[in-house]
Amino acid sequence: MESLMTEQLVALDLDLASKEEVIRHLARMIQAAGRLNNEDEYIQAVFKREEEFATAMGFSVAIPHGKTDAVKIPALAFARLTNAIKWSDEEEVRFIFQIAVPEEAAGDYHLKILASLSRQLIHEEFCEKLASITEPSDIVKLIGEL
């Protein structure tokens, strides 16, 4: 998973107030990293997926994702919010991993990313590291070890 994430795709202690703001902010980061063909199409794919089923996973984590040809190079962006926000009717989140995968690679690749992250989220130590790490490079290293 190391090639999916770079320091450019990590935002620590963001002060955003809504799911929509977070998704758009992370999409801009993925676009700035040169991994999207079309930022607006990618955002629409993420919102469409959220409408189908909210991506909050418990443990204050959400993993929104978009599968679309608007993605040029697969990416995993991360945001840690200063305050938890309402993600769905029942879930508040503070840690967001946003996945971008091309449509043709979406099947297996997308599921591998989700599975790797989900397996770690049940470990308290992993969540504590997400909360306490102060450098984007350390987040990249943590995710690269999955």
Q: Which domain holds residue 35?
A: 2-137
Which is more confidently placed, 145 or 38?
Answer: 38
Residue 143: inside a domain: no
> What pLDDT, on the 0 to 100 scale, is given for residue 109?
74
Residue 103: inside a domain: yes
Contact 95, 78 (CB under 8 A): yes
According to DSSP, the β-strands at 75-86 and 10-14 are parallel
* DSSP 3-state of 31: helix
In DSSP terms, which residues pair with 127 in a beta bridge? none
Active-site residues, by number, are 65
Give tens-digit pLDDT for 43-96.
999 999 999 988 998 889 999 998 899 999 999 999 999 999 999 888 999 999
> What pLDDT, on the 0 to 100 scale, is given for residue 1?
56
Domain CATH code at residue 113: 3.40.930.10
Is the entire prediction scored with pTM above 0.85?
A: yes
Residue 145: inside a domain: no
Residue 7: inside a domain: yes
Give the dihedral sign, CA 8/10/13/14. positive
Give tens-digit pLDDT for 106-146.
567 777 888 888 888 888 899 899 999 999 999 999 998 88
